[in-house]
Amino acid sequence: MDDRLRSIRGKIDGLDRRIAGLLAKRFSLALRITREQLRKQPADHAREKRVLGNAAAAAGDKAFRAAARDVFAEVIRQTKKIQNADTHR
C-alpha cells in the first residue's frame, strides 16, 4: 500500500475515533435531558432546524454542506432512538 494512502487513512481513523467519542458525549447529554425531564415536548423542530443549519455552516466548503446536514439529521434520529429507548426502560 502506498505510504501516502496509509497516512491519510491513519488520519481518517483518528478522526473517526474522535467523532465517535464526541457522539457518545452528545448522546449522554441528550439522555440527561430525558432523565431529568427537561424536555417539554417530544420534538423541538425549530431546534433541529438550527442544529442542521449549524452543521451545514460548520462544514465550510459548499460541497460538504449537504452531506454534513444529512449526517446530523441521522445523528438527531439516533439521539431520539436512544432517548426513546431509555424512556421505555
pLDDT digits (tens, 9 = 90+) for 20-79: 999 999 999 999 998 998 876 668 899 999 999 999 999 999 999 999 999 999 999 999
- Collect contacts of 82-88 with beta carbons under 8 A, ≥24 apart: 82/27, 82/30, 82/31, 83/30, 83/31, 83/33, 83/34, 86/31, 86/34, 86/35, 87/34
Could you tell me the residue ranges of all domains in the chain?
3-87
pLDDT for the residue numbered 87: 79
Is the domain spanning 3-87 CATH 3.30.70.890? The answer is no
pLDDT for the residue numbered 14: 98
pLDDT for the residue numbered 55: 98
pTM over 0.95: no
